[in-house]
Amino acid sequence: MKPLKNDTYLRALMRQPTDYTPVWMMRQAGRYLPEYKATRAQAGDFMSLCRNAELACEVTLQPLRRFPLDAAILFSDILTIPDAMGLGLYFETGEGPRFERPVTCAADVQRIGIPDPEGELGYVMNAVRTIRRELQGEVPLIGFSGSPWTLATYMVEGGSSKAFTKIKKMMYAEPQTLHLLLDKLADSVTSYLNAQVAAGAQSLMIFDTWGGVLTPRDYNEFSLQYMAKIVDGLTRESDGRRVPVTLFTKNGGQWLEAIAATGCDAVGLDWTINIADAKRRVGDKVALQGNMDPSMLYASPERIEQEVASILEGFGHGPGHVFNLGHGIHLDVEPEHAGAFIESVHRLSRSYHAG
* Residues annotated as catalytic (active site), given as ranges: 27, 31, 40, 77, 154
Q: Which of 41, 65, 119, 173 binds a second copy (CB under 8 A)?
A: 173
**Is residue 183 within 8 Å of 226, Cβ to Cβ?**
yes
Q: Using the rule CB under 8 A, is 216 a contact of a second copy? A: yes
- Of the candidate spans 25-33, 115-123, 151-159, 293-301, the one that interacts with a second copy by CB under 8 A turns out to be 293-301
Phi, psi at 335, each rounded to 5°: -55, -35
- Of the candidate spans 6-14, 52-60, 210-218, 241-249, the one that interacts with a second copy by CB under 8 A turns out to be 210-218
Site for a second copy in 320-339 (CB under 8 A): 330, 332
| Backbone torsion region of residue 202, taken as left when φ is above 0, otherwise alpha when ψ lies between -120 and 50, otherwise beta | alpha
Shortest reach from residue 174's CB to a second copy, in Å: 10
| Backbone torsion region of residue 297, taken as left when φ is above 0, otherwise alpha when ψ lies between -120 and 50, otherwise beta | alpha
Shortest reach from residue 155's CB to a second copy, in Å: 17
Q: Give the CA distances from residue 77 to residues 171, 247, 291, in Å, rounded to whole numbers and listed in that order.
A: 25, 17, 22
Q: Using the rule CB under 8 A, is 341 a contact of a second copy? A: no
Q: Using the rule CB under 8 A, is 168 a contact of a second copy? A: yes
Does 27 show up as a binding residue in the annotation? yes
54 or 334: CB nearest a second copy = 334
Q: What is the DSSP string of 291-316?
A: EE-GGGGGS-HHHHHHHHHHHHHHH-
Q: Using the rule CB under 8 A, is 302 a contact of a second copy? A: no
Q: Which of 27, 66, 281, 303 binds a second copy (CB under 8 A)?
A: 303
Does 56 show up as a binding residue in the annotation? no
Distance CA 49, CA 6 (A): 28
Phi, psi at 97, each rounded to 5°: -70, 145
Does 353 show up as a binding residue in the annotation? no
Distance CA 288, CA 283 (A): 7
Q: Using the rule CB under 8 A, is 215 a contact of a second copy? A: yes
Distance CA 314, CA 21 (A): 13
Does 328 show up as a binding residue in the annotation? no
# chain residues binding a second copy, by CB under 8 A: 33
Q: Which helix (H) or strand (E) holds 228?
A: helix 225-233
85 or 213: CB nearest a second copy = 213
Phi, psi at 276, each rounded to 5°: -65, -40
Does 66 show up as a binding residue in the annotation? no
Site for a second copy in 250-289 (CB under 8 A): 251, 253-254, 271-274
Shortest reach from residue 186's CB to a second copy, in Å: 23
137 or 212: CB nearest a second copy = 212
Asked if omega into 291 is within 30° of 0 (cis), the reply is yes
Q: Using the rule CB under 8 A, is 161 a contact of a second copy? A: no
Give 70's contacts (C-beta < 8 A, 6+ positions apart).
Answer: 6, 8, 9, 22, 23, 24, 139, 322
Site string for a second copy, 217-246 (x = CB under 8 A): xxx---------------------------
Distance CA 48, CA 56 (A): 9
CB contact burial 251-264 (16+ within 10 A = b; e otherwise): bbbebbebbbebeb
Q: Using the rule CB under 8 A, is 164 a contact of a second copy? A: yes
Does 293 show up as a binding residue in the annotation? no
| Binding residue ranges for substrate | 27-31, 77, 154, 209, 327
Residues in contact with a second copy by CB under 8 A are 163-165, 168-169, 171-173, 212-219, 251, 253-254, 271-274, 293, 295-296, 298-300, 303, 310, 330, 332
